[in-house]
Copies of this chain bind each other. A is one copy, B any other.
Amino acid sequence: MDLSALLHPLPEVTRRKRFKASRIFTVEEMDLKFSNGTLATYEKIVGGRGAVMAVPFDGQYFYLSVEYAGGLESYQLGLVKGKVDSGETPEQAVVRELSEEISFSARKVTPLKLGMTVAPGMLELTMYVYLCEDLYPCKQEGDEPEPIEIVKVTVQELKELLFSEDSPLKEARSIAALTLAMHKIGAL
């Protein structure tokens, strides 16, 4: 396996312009000169200190969440997630989000993937993904517009959700996080 292509010389950034494109999105426009001389203008959505994603597992059940997804205008099956706040470590953020979103905390937090990317062509966003175990009830108020519902699934049910083609589990980062968690607990 030859990974030397990852060391390719970066394009030169000959101009940057950052602007508030809407109430919540900030865009950076970049003029690039690739090492072969090609010129191109790229845009990306910038900002934030990264985000966290939790795979809660109580030893028997994985706790999936159902939340309204504005991008698709539907309820979607996924995992607890949220932004890292100012002054917080990703480990602190994932425990806080657990308690705000599904009223649990975790005594054991194990990294599954630090720096998972979501859409690296256009988003600066990276995620810190953790397996959260030794769960106990713990409720903090969050900023969700309504309670997030939990769907508890066994290892066998999760395998079906992951690998059946018409499964309601469709979110790439949830599928990625859950397969990493299944591998970590020895179930895959």
Query: A residues touching B (Cβ–Cβ < 8 Å)?
Result: 1-3, 5-8, 10-11, 13, 19, 21-25, 27, 29-30, 32, 34-36, 38, 40-45, 66-78, 111-127, 145-146, 149, 151-154, 157, 161-163, 165, 168, 170-173, 175-177, 179-180, 183, 188
Contact = CB atoms under 8 A, between A and B. Distances in A.
Taking chain A's interface residues, is the majority helix, strand, or loop, or is none over half, making it mixed?
mixed
Count identical subunits in the complex.
2
A27 B21 contact: yes
Contact of A123 (B119, B153, B175): B119
A125 B71 contact: yes
Given A22-B43, A72-B126, A78-B120, 5 more contacts: A71-B122, A71-B125, A72-B120, A163-B180, A163-B183
Contacts of A165: 111-114
A76 to B, nearest CB: 5
A82 to B, nearest CB: 10
Given A117-B170, A117-B171, A127-B172, A8 B75 contact: yes
